[in-house]
Structure 1
Amino acid sequence: MKIMIKYRLLIAMLAATGAVVISMFLIMQWSIGHGFLAYVNTMEKDRLERLAQVLERAYQANGNWEFARSDEAWFRLVAASRESSDLDRVERGERRMQPPPPFPNFSGHNRPPRFQYRFEGRVLLLDAQKAKLAGLPSVQEAVQLHKITISGRIVGYVGLRPRQHLTDTYQLLFVKQQKLTMGLVAVVMFLVSAAISLPLAHRLVLPIKRLAASMHRLASGEYETRVPVGPEDELGQLARDFNTLALSLENNERARRRWVADVSHELRTPLAILRGEIEAIQDGVRQAGPESMRSLHGEVMHLSRLVDDLYQISLYDIGALTYRKEKIELKEVLEDALSSLGQEFMQKGISLSIELPRADGCTVFADPDRLHQLFSNLLDNSLKYTDAGGQLSVRLHCGQNVAQVEFADSAPGVAPDQMERLFDRLYRVESSRNRAKGGAGLGLAICKNIVEAHEGTIAALPSPHGGVLIRVELPLTGSRT
């Protein structure tokens, strides 16, 4: 059976409250019983002291304990200790004990069944040698003794066995009423807790329900879904994280759609040119000569480079792009890339200014083929997008922990707000980096992937020559994986 979280929370709160209420009820029940028993024993201890005073005065009046040996006289003395007025009457009486008035006979079978639990049934009198003079034989164990002194001399002891439990009808009735009251209080507390817990559980679960509904919409593809951020607690932090996730998914979905559209557009253009060229040859509009074959070959090569670049990007995305790293001299790799494209720079009239350290020392742990691809892409980028007659300066500087390589070309430049987007896939600055110059907007994206795989950084900055400066930083001590 499926139980909603609101009711689970309610059950948990009621269970905790019930445990607290039951524990409190049991403790209070125990406290009332034992506390009232302690109170009764304290009252009887006071009565025992009054009885000792009665016995002291009676002993002074009679000179010995013979007067207390009869049960009737003993119980009358015990009864005289019940109230302070009885004690006053004894103090105003004669020096000798007068014959007692008629008194019930508590000897033998005439004693009430619960007489042994009363004060009279738990008190006894002992002489100076602690020999029993009066009282029931069953009360001699575990008694509290009180001295009876005359002029500083101990003449006897009066003892009382404390109550172990309540037996008086009125006392039991009082304790029962108190326990019933505590039970009623416990029930009321539980009901009040239930009345408070239900709306509280609903209030606590409401943000979770909203978040669950928003998560369902997000899973259905509604990436613009957002949830209101509540207070600064765990649920508020969860709502903020949800909004961040939704924003990331929305941006990724937008980028994916733009990526699919851009790739489709990039592939459609060379295919359309190829189709037009071939149909023109088929219709006899153009002759299948060397010129038309060269045009077709150029479009096929452009399409092949685009597919290769897309393949490189896809390998990086799935983590399948392999790197065979080893210790290499960065200066040698950069010189190889410059030598392979130096002739093309000369043909376009772009002057090269190369600043390399004289001695080796820029040793990095990297894949030489990937770094060659990195430098070749950056040089080819400058070759395509630098006006004829311009210049390109290449500089390698080796610091203490980082090797820095800079490629600074001349006009045309790029607006500062577009610098960061140069490394986006299929992004081109249409005023200068257009398709007519052979770029698909993937070269710098591939360069960024290679640099990041070597734990480095790459950035685009304004060039002092009026173009774009690409700065690459690679750690001299990199990962060995």
Structure 2
Amino acid sequence: MKIRRIPIALRLFLTVLLTTFLITTVSLGVLHVNMQRNFSKYVADVEMQKLDLLTQNLAEVYAVYHDWGNAIQAQILQIEGEAAPDDYDRLSRWWLRRQYDIALQQRYFQEHTLANVNPSVVEPDPAKRQANAAELRWLELNLPSQFQPFEGLVFPLSANQNAFRSDRKNEGHQNTTESSGKKQFISMPDRLGLSSRLSLYDAQRQFVVGEPAETQISFRPIMVGEKIVGYLGLKPVLDQEDALSINFFSKQTRYLLLAYALSILASLIAALLLATYFKKPIQRLLNGTRELTKGHYQHQVKVNRNDELGDLSTELNHLAVILDQHETSRRQWVADTSHELKTPLAVLQAQIEAMQDGIRKATPEHLAAMMHQVNNLKKLTQDLSDLAQAEAMQLKCYFSSIDPWQVIEQEIESFKPKFEQAQLDLIVSGEGTQLQLDIDRFKQIMLNLLSNSIRYTEAGGQVHIHTSQSATEWTVYVDDSPFGLSDEQLARLGERFYRADDSRTRATGGTGLGLALSVKIAKALGGELSFAHSPLGGLRCKLSFPKTIKS
């Protein structure tokens, strides 16, 4: 069954969109629910801030009586006369509203008294200033006290028709008050309607008096010193079921839906731009890898970004360069190998055909020449095999404790006839040590270095073999006199099939693999083979091994 693949750009787009959709939905949903539940309480809390003077007056009353029931009862009993059957109940229910009216009148008087300090600023008309002063004078005479909220009333309550002032602008009331000595009840306008929504609770929030409410109300603590003695409660003015609230919340819902739609649209655009921003470089990287699988190693991916995708494109381009170099090296390897094999094979073929045609007889000299070509082929194939194993890190080495200088002396002794034949002066000086090496592989390196010196040193020249060592390393140097090498030639030593003098190497039987193989073998043995200009004017080969093999 084939599974439908979802592109990464589409996944990114859907992830950003759905995440934004979920966050926006939850946020606006919680906001809408909280607004419906808590907005009316918030309005009540704001209104509660206007009741500071009432809260202060109630605290002062409690400080005198130490109990809310006693305070209400004591202030009702201040009224003279014989009460009707329901007068006490009516006054108990009215007590908190009366305290609110008293606080309202006191605040009105305080505010207008402060404004009357400089009346010419508040009211420039002299006639109106005189009227306002008279009004404040009358208000001061009838200003009630929170400790005597029912002052001016008598029992029964039906006998108090003249105790209330319905119109503050009527004349003659000031004289009535001054002559009778009794205060009149002043009806202050309650524009916010707070008096009908007030309730009083004790310190345990048990209802005492006022307007009980089943819904959530706002509380304001009443403090005497550092102790809470009660709470002033205010019922919210807004009801979720009334027409005004329904209209208000409907408008808010429309605004929230508009914000919700705009948020989703913005997240849709942002998710689309983000997915496109990531899709293009990913597609370029994908096309680049496809080009590499086709063998187009010169293809470069252009992603100009300062993030992980930019780093990935840089590494991919670097990989393409390495693969291109390896492919070039592989082709050169194949071409060089076929060329090196072609030469001895062509010689053998010519000699065999000459014998078949009767031009050349199978004499010992001719057979020896053919065997020489066979040996060249054998050496070439063996070097190729060893080099391939060394590059694949599969070269077999058998380590044992040896004295490398003794091995070198033995090889030099076997090479002395060749040095004499090449008319080279050989100088040997050195000392040995104990190293963990493969003796056969070490001999193979020295054979290649000595053969190279004989092959590339002019007749009458000099070859100097000497050693140096420290506490951690042992080194042997092979210096020869000219022919010398340029810096460019020196840098290429150790490459496969590279010959500084191709014609001279072929004439002396070199394959061009000896130094390259020696470098790989030295590395496999834990050492290093490097090349430099010799003080004698030719080539210096430096072969170093650590005295302690790293595990």
TM-score by length of 2: 0.71
Query: Structure 1 residue 131: deviation in Å?
Result: 11
Partner SS for 1:352: strand
Query: In the alignment, which residue of structure 2 is the partner of 1:459?
Result: 530
Deviates more, 1:158-167 or 1:416-425: 158-167
Asked if 1:260 is matched to 2:317, the reply is: no
Query: Structure 1 residue 340: deviation in Å?
Result: 2.1
Query: Structure 1 residue 171: deviation in Å?
Result: 3.4
Partner SS for 1:226: coil
Query: In the alignment, which residue of structure 1 is the partner of 2:182?
Result: none
Query: In the alignment, which residue of structure 1 is the partner of 2:15?
Result: 12
Distance in 1 between residues matched to 2:481 and 2:75, nearest whole Å:
132
Distance 1:382 1:145, change over 3 A: closer
Query: In the alignment, which residue of structure 1 is the partner of 2:372?
Result: 298
CA contact (8 A) 1:229 1:236 kept: yes
Partner SS for 2:409: helix
Query: Structure 1 residue 470: deviation in Å?
Result: 0.9
Asked if 1:448 is matched to 2:519, the reply is: yes
Asked if 1:319 is matched to 2:376, the reply is: no
Query: In the alignment, which residue of structure 1 is the partner of 2:495?
Result: 424
Partner SS for 2:471: coil
Query: In the alignment, which residue of structure 2 is the partner of 1:356?
Result: 430
Amino acid corresponding to residue 17 of structure 1 in structure 2: T
Deviates more, 1:91-100 or 1:415-424: 91-100
Distance in 1 between residues matched to 2:360 and 2:461, nearest whole Å:
38
- Report the number of matched residues: 452
Aligned with residue 40 of structure 1, among 37, 40, 43: 43
Matches of residues 78-477 of structure 1 in structure 2 within 5 Å?
95-96=152-153, 98=160, 123-124=198-199, 135=210, 144=219, 159-160=232-233, 166-167=239-240, 169=242, 170-357=244-431, 360=432, 362-430=433-501, 433-477=504-548
CA contact (8 A) 1:51 1:78 kept: no
Aligned with residue 31 of structure 2, among 28, 42, 46: 28
Amino acid corresponding to residue 89 of structure 2 in structure 1: R
CA contact (8 A) 2:41 2:217 kept: no
CA offsets per residue over residues 54-81 of structure 1, 9 Å max, x none? 999x998994497562399849958986
Deviates more, 1:91-100 or 1:452-461: 91-100
Provide structure 1 residue ranges, at least 5 long, that are not aligned to the other structure.
102-117, 150-155
Deviates more, 1:286-295 or 1:62-71: 62-71
Considering only aligned residues, what root-mean-square deviation do their CA atoms show, in Å? 4.2
Query: In the alignment, which residue of structure 2 is the partner of 1:105?
Result: none
Query: Structure 1 residue 229: deviation in Å?
Result: 4.4
Distance in 1 between residues matched to 2:481 and 2:299, nearest whole Å:
46
Amino acid corresponding to residue 451 of structure 1 in structure 2: A
Distance 1:319 1:147, change over 3 A: closer
TM-score by length of 1: 0.80
Deviates more, 1:227-236 or 1:249-258: 227-236
CA contact (8 A) 2:96 2:200 kept: no
Query: Structure 1 residue 202: deviation in Å?
Result: 0.6
Distance 1:60 1:74, change over 3 A: closer
Query: Structure 1 residue 352: deviation in Å?
Result: 0.8
Amino acid corresponding to residue 269 of structure 1 in structure 2: T
Amino acid corresponding to residue 367 of structure 2 in structure 1: M
Query: Structure 1 residue 317: deviation in Å?
Result: 2.7
CA contact (8 A) 2:41 2:218 kept: no
Distance in 2 between residues matched to 1:435 and 1:251, nearest whole Å:
27
Provide structure 2 residue ranges, at least 5 long, that are not aligned to the other structure.
62-71, 109-134, 144-150, 166-192
CA offsets per residue over residues 397-430 of structure 1, 9 Å max, x none? 1122221111111222222211121200111123
CA contact (8 A) 2:93 2:210 kept: no
Query: In the alignment, which residue of structure 2 is the partner of 1:153?
Result: none
Amino acid corresponding to residue 42 of structure 1 in structure 2: D
CA contact (8 A) 2:221 2:232 kept: yes
